[in-house]
């Protein structure tokens, strides 16, 4: 596959940085909004034909350099037997684990519950030759939702207390999540994904010492399993901050940087053999197109010095982002002389 995205992931210098955006397959696209008039979010992610269609919308509508599977990180808790209601205010778990006396016993782990994801991958691979990114949530992030039960408490106080008060059970839950995630990731690879991104959306929730002790070993188990099958891996530890100095080639091939850390500072902290992805503030896409162009222009020197860089946002595309600005952002990157 002659892909600027895959070439960059594999360490080859290209004439420009590739571009794709987290949450590109939804929210901001009029074509996705039209589909949402007829289908619930749950229907879209669990119906393979529909998930494949949404996956490819940003490639067709925006011209991004890679597609990412349209799914959700909470597929893992669903496959572990947890019931989730997809509300307009985010996912809600009917029976969070933090209040349970024996949380591991509450789980009914059935990997076959994820078969619809692999069928969606099959449909995408049949329909398109664009690089396809598979993904999963990382153990800390998944466990936070499983313990807390709702997504509106972004600081996850019940989960944090559980980590400190019930260390042995925390480790048991991490192991269970990690084992299922490895199976999930490897089956995505078997069905044809070209790259894999591991989302640690809440890595800044705990001190870096605790993260390194409890969660980073599980991350490395997952990344080792993915990379052992010849697939490049991007790790997104949102909020990790100065902990980026612990990101070495043993952890991942590329690390995605959030907008709180400048790319220049990230490049100084991260091991030189690890490429960077990111890190534009999603709010930039609400600015005037002149300001967007000036901001992108200011990154040219960085690319010339550090060509192992994939352009992305520091988190997902925000709802109500002007679609014309998203088009402008992608077109400017693809049509500009970066050298």
Q: Is the pLDDT of residue 118 over 90?
A: yes
Per residue in 253-305, pLDDT (tens digit) is 999 999 999 999 999 999 999 999 999 999 999 999 999 999 999 999 999 99
Host domain of residue 190: 4-335
- Residue 169 contacts residue 103 (beta carbons within 8 Å): yes
123: burial class by Cβ within 10 Å (0-12, 13-18, 19+)?
middle
Mean pLDDT of 57-63: 97
Write the CATH number for 181.
3.20.20.210
Q: Is the pLDDT of residue 93 over 90?
A: no
pLDDT of 216: 97
pLDDT of 151: 60
Share of the chain above pLDDT 70, in %: 99
Task: Classify residue 160 as left (phi > 0), alpha (psi -120 to 50) or beta.
Answer: alpha
Q: State the DSSP H helix or E strand holding residue 236, giving kind and residue range, or none if neither.
A: strand 233-237
Per residue in 98-114, pLDDT (tens digit) is 988 999 998 999 999 99
pLDDT of 2: 86
Q: Is the pLDDT of residue 152 over 70?
A: no
Instruction: Answer positive or negative: Cα dihedral of 17, 18, 23, 28.
Output: positive
- Residue 93 contacts residue 81 (beta carbons within 8 Å): no
Q: Is the pLDDT of residue 85 over 90?
A: no
The encoded tokens of residue 200 equal: 């640690």
pLDDT of 92: 83
319: burial class by Cβ within 10 Å (0-12, 13-18, 19+)?
exposed
Provide DSSP, 161-207. Answer: HHHHH-HHHHHHHHHHHHHHHHHHHHHHHHTT-SEEEEEETTGGGS-
| Counted domains in the chain | 1
Mean pLDDT of 213-232: 98
Tell which residue, 192, 92, 185, has the closest CA to residue 132: 192
Q: Which residues of 196-234 are buried (b: 16+ CB within 10 A; e: fewer)?
A: bbbbbbbbbbbebeebeebbbebbbbbbebbbeeebbbb
181: burial class by Cβ within 10 Å (0-12, 13-18, 19+)?
buried
**Alpha carbon distances (Å) from 71 to 13, 44, 50, 262:** 31, 8, 11, 29
Q: Is the pLDDT of residue 88 over 80?
A: no
pLDDT of 153: 62
**Alpha carbon distances (Å) from 227 to 175, 188, 236, 249, 253:** 19, 13, 16, 11, 9
**CA–CA distance, 164 with 6 (Å, rounded to integer):** 41
pLDDT of 94: 83
pLDDT of 288: 98
Q: State the DSSP H helix or E strand holding residue 32, giving kind and residue range, or none if neither.
A: helix 30-36
The model carries a pTM of 0.96
The residue written with tokens 């599977």 in the block is: 69
Instruction: Answer positive or negative: Cα dihedral of 258, 264, 267, 270.
Output: negative
**Alpha carbon distances (Å) from 94 to 86, 131, 156, 185, 230:** 11, 36, 16, 26, 38
Task: Classify residue 116 as left (phi > 0), alpha (psi -120 to 50) or beta.
Answer: alpha
**Alpha carbon distances (Å) from 83 to 79, 86, 96, 106, 146:** 9, 10, 9, 11, 10
The residue written with tokens 């800390």 in the block is: 140
Average pLDDT in the chain: 95
Q: Which positions are annotated as active-site residues?
A: 23, 27, 36, 72, 145
Q: Is the pLDDT of residue 86 over 90?
A: no
Per residue in 156-208, pLDDT (tens digit) is 999 999 999 999 999 999 999 999 999 999 999 999 999 999 999 999 999 99
Share of the chain above pLDDT 90, in %: 90
The encoded tokens of residue 270 equal: 């991260």
pLDDT of 155: 86
pLDDT of 99: 85
Mean pLDDT of 126-151: 93
Q: Is the pLDDT of residue 38 over 90?
A: yes
User: Across-strand partners of 91?
Assistant: 86
The encoded tokens of residue 158 equal: 């019940």
């Amino acid at each position: 596959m002659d892909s600027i995205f895959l070439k960059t992931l594999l360490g080859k210098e290209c004439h420009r940085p590739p571009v794709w955006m987290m949450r590109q397959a939804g929210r901001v696209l009029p074509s996705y909004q039209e589909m949402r008039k007829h289908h619930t979010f749950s229907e879209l992610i669990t119906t393979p034909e529909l998930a494949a269609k949404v996956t490819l919308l940003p490639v067709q509508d925006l011209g991004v350099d890679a597609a990412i599977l349209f799914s959700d990180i909470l597929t893992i808790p669903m496959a572990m037997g947890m019931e989730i209601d997809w509300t307009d205010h985010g996912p809600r778990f009917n029976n969070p684990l933090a209040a349970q006396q024996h949380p591991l016993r509450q789980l009914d782990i059935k990997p076959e519950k994820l078969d619809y994801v692999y069928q969606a991958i099959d449909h995408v691979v049949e329909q398109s030759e664009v690089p396809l990114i598979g993904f999963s949530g990382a153990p800390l992030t998944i466990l936070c939702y499983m313990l807390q039960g709702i997504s509106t408490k972004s600081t996850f106080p019940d989960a944090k207390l559980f980590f400190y008060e019930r260390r042995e059970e925390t480790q048991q839950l991490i192991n269970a999540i990690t084992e299922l995630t490895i199976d999930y990731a490897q089956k995505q690879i078997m069905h044809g994904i070209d790259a894999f991104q591991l989302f640690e959306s809440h890595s800044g929730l705990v001190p870096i010492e605790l993260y390194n002790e409890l969660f980073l070993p599980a991350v490395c188990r997952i990344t080792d399993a993915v990379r052992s099958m010849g697939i490049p891996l991007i790790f997104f530890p949102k909020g990790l901050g100065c902990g980026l100095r612990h990101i070495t080639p043993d952890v991942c091939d590329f690390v995605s940087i959030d907008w709180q850390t400048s790319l220049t500072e990230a490049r100084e902290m991260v091991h030189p053999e690890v490429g960077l992805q990111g890190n534009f503030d999603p709010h930039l896409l609400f600015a005037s197109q002149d300001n967007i162009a000036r901001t992108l222009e200011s990154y040219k020197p960085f690319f010339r010095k550090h060509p192992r860089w994939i352009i992305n946002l520091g988190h997902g595309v925000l709802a109500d982002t002007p679609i014309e600005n998203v088009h402008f952002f992608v077109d400017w990157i693809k049509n500009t002389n970066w050298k």
